[in-house]
Structure 1
Amino acid sequence: MALAIRDVHEHDLDAVLALNNIAGRSILALDAAQLRYFYEHADYFRVAEIDGQLAGFLIALRDGGDYASPNYRWFSAHYPSFVYIDRIVIANAYRRHGLGRIFYCDVNSFAEVRVPLLTCEVFLEPCDDVVVLFHGTYGFQEVGQQRMGEHGPQVSLLAKDLPSYAFVRDTYLEHSGLPDLPWLAGRGPQFTHGSQARRLPGSGPHE
């Protein structure tokens, strides 16, 4: 089995959209415009390929954007600097391969050299004990709850401290910046963090 985790390409978007919209109740549906917003503005948007087949994806955004998700906005109101995991989707055929943990290790590595906090939310209605346990064992703690709109589900807002960030900040970010190494790089030239972020039509979290 050959596994690759890489930045999304534009030609992946149709497959990503289809995968998102068959994921079930725990993932809010997207349309093409919403997915295009993520392609143009998400700080982290990577896909997993297994033997050349799209097996999953994870989308995350840094603070400072104009993303309309009520959960992203909750974190924006409470924390000055964070990476927010909007959604992670694994194709049914590739579940139980450990891809969730691989993605979380990867986004953790992306976040800890940029911000002090990794955040996300999980639905409590319906509550999935496997998802709650997964996040707890990965170091997330509940920092709040809210209901998504008047009739939306109750969610648990989770955050994970990234203790390595202080070293990176003091040693690199406050001086010459991160070294020019591939594993430290952000997304490609089609993306620039903080540039003319547009509002996402509607609002929607991840899982």
Structure 2
Amino acid sequence: MSIVIRDVREHELDSVLALNNAAGPAILPLDAARLRRFYTDADYFRVAERDGTLAGFLVGFSSTANHDSDNFRWFREHYPDFFYIDRIVVASRRRGGGVGRAFYADVQSHAELRYPQLACEVFLDDGNDPALLFHGSFGFREVGQHVMATTGDAPGHRAAMLLKDLCSYPWVHDTYGGHLPDVPWIAAPRAHRASAHRATGT
């Protein structure tokens, strides 16, 4: 069956939270309040649907977002303009089936019209060669390492900070500046969600 990438719906947040907190040590845990902030504030919050069920999700922020992630702040201290992938989670039973690649193709198509670089991190504490290889196959390169702040008794995670130059951005920026054509496939994911909220009165 095909993979459908679409905006998250508010009633799906509990399922998204369960997916996140079952993902294992490579993904930081969330509580409902923080996930709600993602739903309200993220520039990109989309889910993958396969066979009628959620197969994963991806959350992303622009470099100007009011986002409190330690790793996001590292990128903002080093780079002026980028789009940041905060997290991608794929359900365990769907891993290896193309969901991650579908997400990265979709988030890149959003980012490359608006930002010169795409940023993310991979935790290194337990070795994470599959994730590093996955990102390398998409053109990411390591631009540094960062140890996150210690929380409670737990030491901070060490992360490889990854960046990808988006080759389409210079042409788009020179041609259209900040005024992209008003066509549905270019509309930002949050714009689709806002339109849906206005239509339903929520």
**Please, what TM-score do these two structures have when normalized by structure 2?**
0.90
- Per the alignment, residue 183 of structure 2 pairs with 181
In 2, Cα distance between equivalents of 1:32 and 1:105: 28
In 2, Cα distance between equivalents of 1:171 and 1:74: 31
* 132, 152, 156: which one aligns with 1:152: 156
Distance 1:190 1:2, change over 3 A: closer
Taking every aligned residue pair, what percent have the same amino acid on both sides?
Answer: 56
Query: More relative contact order in 1 or in 2 (CA 8 Å, sep 6+)?
Result: 1
RMSD of aligned residue pairs (Cα, Å): 1.4
Unaligned segments of structure 2, at least 5 residues: 196-202
4+ residue runs over 4 A deviation: 189-192
- Per the alignment, residue 105 of structure 2 pairs with 105
Q: Please report how far the alpha carbon of residue 188 of structure 1 lies from its aligned counterpart in structure 2 after TM superposition.
A: 2.9
- Per the alignment, residue 175 of structure 2 pairs with 171
Unaligned segments of structure 1, at least 5 residues: 193-207
Say whether the 8 Å CA contact 2:3–2:99 is kept in structure 1.
Answer: no
Distance 1:191 1:145, change over 3 A: farther
- Per the alignment, residue 128 of structure 1 pairs with 128
User: Secondary structure of 1:57's match?
Assistant: strand
**Please, what TM-score do these two structures have when normalized by structure 1?**
0.88
Q: Please report how far the alpha carbon of residue 2 of structure 1 lies from its aligned counterpart in structure 2 after TM superposition.
A: 3.7
Amino acid at match of 1:167: W
Q: Please report how far the alpha carbon of residue 189 of structure 1 lies from its aligned counterpart in structure 2 after TM superposition.
A: 6.0
Say whether the 8 Å CA contact 1:41–1:191 is kept in structure 2.
Answer: no
TM alignment of 1:81-100, pairs within 5 A: 81-100=81-100
- Per the alignment, residue 199 of structure 2 pairs with none
Amino acid at match of 2:97: H
In 2, Cα distance between equivalents of 1:184 and 1:16: 25
